[in-house]
Structure formats: C-alpha cells, structure tokens
Chain A
Amino acid sequence: MNRVIHAPHSVQIAINTLFNKEFTTSNKGNFGILPLACSEIDVFNEEKRNLSLGGHVGFDSLPEQLVSKSVTQGFCFNILCVGETGIGKSTLMNTLFNTMFENEEASHYQNGVYLRPRTYDLQESSVRLKLTIVDTVGFGDQINKEDSYKPIVDYIDTQFENYLQEELKIKRSLFNYHDTRIHICLYFIAPTGHSLKSLDLVTMKKLDSKVNIIPIIAKADTISKSELHKFKIKIMSELVSNGVQIYQFPTDDETVSEINASMNAHLPFAVVGSLEEVKVGNKAVRARQYPWGVVQVENESHCDFVKLREMLIRVNMEDLREQTHARHYELYRRCKLEEMGFKDTDPDSEPFSLQETYEAKRKEFLGDLQRKEEEMRQMFVNKVKETEAELKEKERELHEKFEQLKRMHQEEKRKVEEKRRDLEEEMNAFNRKKVAAETLSLSQPVKKDKDKKK
C-alpha cells in the first residue's frame, strides 16, 4: 500500500510524455509520482527499463562492500537443543564447533524444564561469530510431562518479544542489537528404532510455527543400518501425517539447490558426537572406541554428522537466519500486534493509527489504574470506618462502666453521708443530752455541796 505524493499538474503532462501515452488516472484525478516502488513503475511501463552499460562502472563490488561491512559487525547465531537429559546434546555441540564448551552434566532430578542459554565468541579466519547455545535441562525427566514444552515455547517467544520491543522503541539501535532469537532448533530423537515418542510429536508440533526445526537421531551408533533406514522412514511419515513442519533446505538457488535437495532426503540426520581422538590407520580421527570397532564421527558411511555440519553451518546458516527473521518473527509480530489491538491503516484514516490505538489503550489502561485506585481507596475507607465503629463501641462500653462505677461511688458516698448524718445526729443528740445532763448536774452540785457540808 503506497502513499501517493501529490504533484503539480504540469508534472502530469510530463509523465504522459515520459511514457509516450495518455495516462488515465483512476484515483480522483490526482496523479503523483509514487516513491518508485518497483511494482508501480512496472504498472505503467510493461517492459522493464533494462539498460546495458557502455563500460565497466564498478558496482559489482557492492556484494563485497556489503560482506565486509558484515564482517566488521560480526554475526550472531543461536541454536536451541531440545532433547532428553543424557542424549548427547552438549557432546554434539562440542563436536560441531570443535570446541570444548564448558558445561556440567545435568541432573535427572529437575522438577521442571529449564532453559540454559550460553553465549560464546568464536572466530575463524576473519569471521567473528557470537554463538548462543540454549540447552533444555530436565526435558523428559519428569513423571508428568504435559507441560514440558511450555518453557521452551515461552523462551522462544520472549526472544521475539525482546526484538519486537527494540524495534518499536522510538530511539532504537537495531544495528548494535544482540539478536537472541533462536535461528535453529535441533530436536534430538532417542534412538529407539521404532517411532517417535508422543512427547516428541507434541513438542515439535508446538514449535514448528515458531522456529526452524531439524530433527536428528542422537547416539546413532546404537542402531544398525537397516533399522536406521526403517526408523528414518517411520519418523518422516509420522511427522508428515501429524502435520509437523520441519525446516526444508532451500532449493531455489541453483548453486546449492542440488545438494540441498539431496540432503532433504536424508532427514532426520543420524549423528554421533565425540571429541576424543582415536588413531585409525595413520591418522587421528574423532571417534568412539568400542571393543568391536571404532565409530568415526566424520565418516559418512558411519553417521550423518558431516551432512549435518555441512547443512547447518557451511551452506544454510544465512538462510536459517533469514527464515527466522522473515517468517517466524514476522508471524509472531503480526499476532502480537493484532492481539494488542492494532490494525493496519485503511486508506482513509490518519497515519500512525498505531500511535492512536496506542494512545487509546493507554487511556484505557490509565482509566483502569484509576479505577483500581478508587477501589483500593474505598476499601481503605471502609476498613477505617469499621475500626472506628469498633473503637467507638469500646469507648461507649468504657463510658458505661465509668458511669456505673461513678454511680456506685455516689451510692456509697450517699450511704456514707447518711451514716455520717446519723452519727452526727446521734452525736448531737448525745451532746444535747450531755449538755442537758450537765446543766442538770450543775443544779445538782448545790445539793451535792450541801451533802458535802454535811
């Protein structure tokens, strides 16, 4: 969907003369010079304007310029290894990259599936590679494996999400961004010789729309040649019948289409990994030594390791990166944006409806926040009221008690007052009697004196 630039009318005449035909415009009479999307130019000029050059111009060095720029920037490659514990993932990585990546053996007692990403800086001639190997620890060890695939899917989605966030930023630096999106998932199939396990099918089905999958048969030296052939056919037919999309090596470029097509027929690759060197003849080769013979890793009749290395690294690494970006990431992005509520603009709407929708969402979110705040405040107020009521109740009780006590006290006081009055009265009465008695005795002492005189 291209934007039309409105150009002055004089240009319209020029356009018509340019292409030597009268151009009937279909959209509102305003014809503009489009920003030259290739398809648009072809629309009004059927023959492509192909020019032959009169001499050596020199832009054939463009691919070289592009490549040298990439060399200075360095490359990123991320591999995800999915397989049961002990199936040989770490050994295979060591063998593939001819490096002893440090890793401890995982225990079988994890209570869930963990993803363990490790990043290494490798260099070969002038090429610097930032390699990230993600290991699934604990895969297939649990008793209940229903949720085993979830951490893997979550990890892949998180990497896409991080890239999407970076891409949507206003100030972004995509060129310095350390790309952690998984470019290839190596799915290790246990060498039972029979068929895929249901865990394998379920996991691969969940992963096939998110990442490029290459299934490989691990520890292939435990299967004989004939069994292997049957096993491979069985696996491929099961994958097809369950609709699992594994990565197909691209056959559109003539230089590699042949080798890729032939390799497609050898999937899944039966690999053996080893870093130990064994002397065979007068050479030292990487191999596994058994009492009955030596399994050579790089011998194509022994296992498919060379094919895997060829396909994964030497022929299709760039294509894997491109598929991840152009197909899986775009799918994720589309789903995520649609889920967030964005729609593509229709020709009549304002530009950046992305922004407007975002603003609308933002308002919504702020509204939500405010509502939540209100709720919390309400709750708080209610709680406060409750406690206040309780406190008031208690206060009232206390008051009552106080009143009661006061009353009692008053009662007592009254009683005591009464008693005191009684007592006073008694005392008064007694005093009166005493006075009376005294006055009586005063008049008596004359008699008494008389008595005394006697």
Chain B
Amino acid sequence: MSEAVLPDAVVSPAVGGLYGEKAGGPVLDFSYVGIDAILEQMRRKAMKQGFELNIMVVGQSGLGKSTLMNTLFKSKVSRKSVLATAQEKIPKTVEIKSISHDIEEKGVRMKLTVIDTPGFGDQINNENCWQPIMKFINDQYEAYLQEEININRKKRIPDSRVHCCIYFIPPTGHCLRPLDVEFMRRLSKVVNIVPVIAKADTLTLEERDFFKKKIREELRANGIDVYPQKEFDEDAEDRMINEKIREMIPFAVVGSDQEYQVNGRRLLGRKTKWGTIEVENIAHCEFAYLRDLLIRTHMQNIKDITSSIHYEMYRVRRLNENNTMVAHANGIPEHHLAAHEM
C-alpha cells in the first residue's frame, strides 16, 4: 500500500504582487486575485442568516430595567410593555421570564431576547436569590451542548445562551451592597456582566464620580471581573480601547421612552420641574456610552466571549464531571481516565 501523504512543505511567504495594501486607483488587472472579495461574501451571508442576541436584566424592582431596555432598542421590547394586563405583584421567588422580538435595521435582522428576573433582591431574606439565575444560564449552556453533541444536528444550532447580563446597582451613592457583591462575584464567572448605576439622575456629578470609584475599588478588591474582562484582551489595540471603557464602568444611566421638545429638537428624556434630563446627552448621563458599547462596537465581541470562553468552560466542567461520575459508577479509578481526549 503506498503512503498517502508526503511531508508538508515549509510554509513560504507569498512571492509576487500580492503583498501590502492595494495601491489607490485602478490596479493592473492581472495582479488582483480577488481574495478580499471574501469579506463581501461573509457580509452577505451574515445579513442573510441574521443575528441572535440574548440580554438578561437583573436588579431590584423599580430600578428602571424595563425602561432602559426600551430605550436601548428604541421600541417596546420589555415584557411589561407587551403584557398589557400584567399583575404588578412582587413574586415570592426569583422568576425568569423572557420575551423575544425580531427587529430589523437597514437590512440586518436580529432576534433579540430580553430575559427579565422579577423578584431578584426583593424579598426580606435574599439568600440564594442568584441560584435560579445561575441555573437558567447553565440550562442554556446545557441545551446548546446537547444540540452540539447530537449526531443529527441542526445546521444552525439555536443560540439561547445569555450573552450579556446587565446588573442594576441602586444609586445609593455610597458603595456596593453585600447582595451586589455576592451576585456579581458568582455570576461574573459564567456570564458577561455589565454593571450600570440605575436612575442616575438622583446623583450629582461629584457624587457619581465618587460612587463609581468606590464601586470599581470594591470590584477589584473582591476579584470580580466584569465585562470587558482584562484577561480576554487580545492585543495592545484591544487593551487600549478596553482600558478606556474599564475606567468608565459602571455606566450611570437614565432611561426613558418619552420624547420631549428640547431646543427645537425632539429628544428622549425625563421632564422634571427643574429641567429636562436628556438621555442621549453624554453631559447628562452615560446612556450613550452603554449603548455604543453594547450595540455598536462590542456586540460581536460579547457574543464571542460567551461562546468561546464561558460556554467552553461550562463544557469542560460538564464533560469532566461526567467522566468522574461514570468512572465511579464503573469502579474505574479516576487516574486511569484520559484527562483530555475523548
């Protein structure tokens, strides 16, 4: 039997007219191959397939979660807006309620899922109130994993994994509460957390800066890594951009779905006796930064970190624990099992 493959040739850099930037102006036809047309092809494919995004909002009731979601996506995406006859009773345990929307902008279609967690932090005894949330997140990973290891699997595995969890910090102005610290500590390990200061129009600028500094210190002291995580910075450019963001979190946001006339323009804002707070004015609140981070610049990155890091960690844990489970069932001592290969 003859050998099928000869040893690989050394990778050699391209010779000829393909290096570097394309010169401006019409290039000679025969030095242009057309490899960069693949970008256009990818774009077309992405537009055809559409995107999925799952955002979870966590915080005590009354902090403006639903309003913020509506403001972010400029439409009534939150559950409360859809449920006309919602009962506003505070539930006895933390519940997970999600609602999906298909939205489209300039030909780009997106399936947006907003996951609400009513009941979080509302009880007198809030012990373990993060558990249903963690369970939900892990269940999504589980569902994805199950589909992935199927023999006959779908062409596009439906992605219900929580990409981003927005945590609402009540604007006390002092520091994080034990519940906040506990929740963020546990969940930053399984999902991307973006902390925001809710109802920031109750803080003056100095109070806000002080509060933010305090929060950042506490996060650092407790070893809580919120999005954008330091360890996932890919290169120097990334790090530069992310450092700037890290100096600004948590964003102090104000949400509103009412429009008012300000200086002849119609803007989203909150009208009070002492003035109108413009939501999209960065001098008033940091909503615009949050929106830019979440949607305009880092959305793909958030999804990538979820799928390539959080999900993979879950998968490793799950497969390993099954290994030991089955090993114990079969009486095979653990050190006999291969650690890596399946």
Contact partner, B34, options A69, A309, A338, A351, Cβ 8 Å: A309
Q: Which of A411-451 contact B (CB under 8 A)?
A: none
State which of B73-81, B177-185, B219-227 sits at the interface with chain A: B73-81
Q: Which of B309-342 contact A (CB under 8 A)?
A: 312, 315-316, 318-320, 322-323, 326-327, 330, 339-342
Collect the chain A residues with CB atoms within 8 Å of residue B2's CB: 110-114, 151
Collect the chain A residues with CB atoms within 8 Å of residue B22's CB: 124-125
Q: How large is the interface on B (under 10, 10 to 19, 20 to 34, 35 or more residues)?
A: 35 or more
Contact partner, A63, options B4, B9, B108, B323, Cβ 8 Å: B108
Q: Are A354 and B35 in contact (CB under 8 A)?
A: no
In terms of DSSP, what is the predominant structure of the interface of chain A? mixed
Contact partner, B326, options A66, A119, A355, Cβ 8 Å: A355
Contact partner, B4, options A35, A154, A169, Cβ 8 Å: A154
Collect the chain B residues with CB atoms within 8 Å of residue A356's CB: 326
Contact partner, B8, options A10, A75, A110, A118, Cβ 8 Å: A118
Collect the chain B residues with CB atoms within 8 Å of residue A14's CB: 95, 97
A387 in contact (CB, < 8 A): no
B151 in contact (CB, < 8 A): yes
A26 in contact (CB, < 8 A): no
- Kindly provide the distance from the CB of A126 to the nearest chain B CB, expressed in whole angstroms: 7
Collect the chain B residues with CB atoms within 8 Å of residue A121's CB: 11, 13-14
Collect the chain B residues with CB atoms within 8 Å of residue A66's CB: 42-43, 46, 300
B206 in contact (CB, < 8 A): no
CA distance A114 to B295 in the complex (A): 51
Q: Are B155 and A326 in contact (CB under 8 A)?
A: yes
Collect the chain B residues with CB atoms within 8 Å of residue A54's CB: 74-75
State which of A43-51, A78-86, A393-401 sits at the interface with chain B: A43-51
- Kindly provide the distance from the CB of B242 to the nearest chain A CB, expressed in whole angstroms: 15
- Kindly provide the distance from the CB of A204 to the nearest chain B CB, expressed in whole angstroms: 19
B153 in contact (CB, < 8 A): yes
A29 in contact (CB, < 8 A): no
Q: Given the interface contacts A17-B86, A51-B102, does A119 sit within 8 Å of B11 by beta carbon?
A: yes
Q: Are A344 and B151 in contact (CB under 8 A)?
A: yes
Considering the complex, give the chain A residue whose CB is closest to the CB of B98: A36
Q: Given the interface contacts A113-B2, A170-B320, does A99 sit within 8 Å of B15 by beta carbon?
A: yes
Q: Are A53 and B105 in contact (CB under 8 A)?
A: yes
Q: Given the interface contacts A52-B75, A344-B152, does A318 sit within 8 Å of B18 by beta carbon?
A: no
Contact partner, B33, options A98, A151, A170, Cβ 8 Å: A98
B265 in contact (CB, < 8 A): no
CA distance A338 to B146 in the complex (A): 17
- Kindly provide the distance from the CB of A338 to the nearest chain B CB, expressed in whole angstroms: 6
Q: Are B292 and A58 in contact (CB under 8 A)?
A: yes
Q: List 6 A-B contacts (CB under 8 A).
A: A10-B92, A117-B5, A124-B32, A170-B340, A175-B308, A319-B41
A2-B143, A98-B32 given. 9 additional CB < 8 A pairs?
A10-B95, A48-B102, A59-B108, A63-B47, A66-B46, A98-B31, A112-B2, A113-B4, A253-B48
